[in-house]
Copies of this chain bind each other. A is one copy, B any other.
């Protein structure tokens, strides 16, 4: 089974009553500053504050009843855990979320608020995976990986689908890339709906494994460095990379300074709260690593979950 536009449309039908059809936002000032016509898909206004609600909901509601009753499990320090907990609650099934012991308290509380069971582990990739495997062995729950999962990818593709329905004839569609769930779904939706569109992914230079992989033509796993765009530290997944190779036109990178500057510009100009990862595509426009002059450009603003006590322009943190 593979992922195509029909499957993304089916995902949309499946999840539409559980998610928000988020607004497409424009800004005259950012259009003037960039020379482009920008169309921002506001997934910061999505349920649980991020696009992740789409994929997790699609995965949970795609399960057969008998399998669903055994519950779902994942490991996540971020929005996917919350999204899976919420989707499981909506379906009335158990959810087990493996979280690193150093996860932000607000994220732990968010997961627990949906009645999911939180299982803590050491904050390493190995511990996360092994603990999650143990939980699954014990509970017989189904793993819903945050990006290496076809239903998750199809669900994430619904954001681009909605955007292209509302903002037709885009020349370019941009989104950030971490594990590649959003990018894979976005690229399939966009190229299927509008074959001439250019799909450009943007990645922090400090976490540029997808850009490296794209240039090399093979998946390269890199050491994780710090990036303020913490949602993008993950290495791109294998099934994701295969889709990216087929459908994505380019992957460019941006500096940490540009990410912070883009985030602040979006806050001040558009009066909306977006997380650092969401600002990464606009950072590429700010740094002029891609030329958008005179073009109609879609940008997926991935989410708006930030710690207001630790903003990146606050010099004391």
Contacts and interface: CB of A to CB of B under 8 A. Distances in A.
Contacts of A316: 314, 316
Interface in A260-317: 264, 267-268, 271-274, 304, 308-309, 311, 313-314, 316
Contact of A308 (B267, B272, B304): B267
A44 interface: yes
Contacts of A304: 271
Taken together, the copies of this chain in the complex come to 2
A271 B271 CA distance: 9
Nearest to A49: B271
Contacts of A268: 273, 308
A277 to B, nearest CB: 14
A45 interface: yes
A239 interface: no
A115 interface: no
Contacts of A273: 267-268, 271-273
Given A23-B23, A264-B308, A308-B264, A45 B314 contact: no
Contacts of A23: 23
Name, among A268, A271, A273, A308, the residue most crowded by chain B CB atoms within 10 Å (CB to CB).
A271
Interface in A1-49: 23, 44-45, 49
Contacts of A45: 271
Given A23-B23, A267-B273, 17 more contacts: A44-B271, A45-B271, A49-B271, A267-B308, A268-B273, A268-B308, A271-B272, A271-B274, A271-B304, A272-B273, A273-B273, A308-B311, A308-B313, A309-B313, A314-B314, A314-B316, A316-B316
Top 3 closest A-B pairs, CB basis?
A: A271-B304, A271-B273, A44-B271
Interface of A: 23, 44-45, 49, 264, 267-268, 271-274, 304, 308-309, 311, 313-314, 316
15 contacts: A23-B23, A45-B271, A267-B273, A268-B273, A268-B308, A271-B273, A271-B274, A271-B304, A272-B272, A272-B273, A308-B311, A308-B313, A309-B314, A314-B314, A316-B316
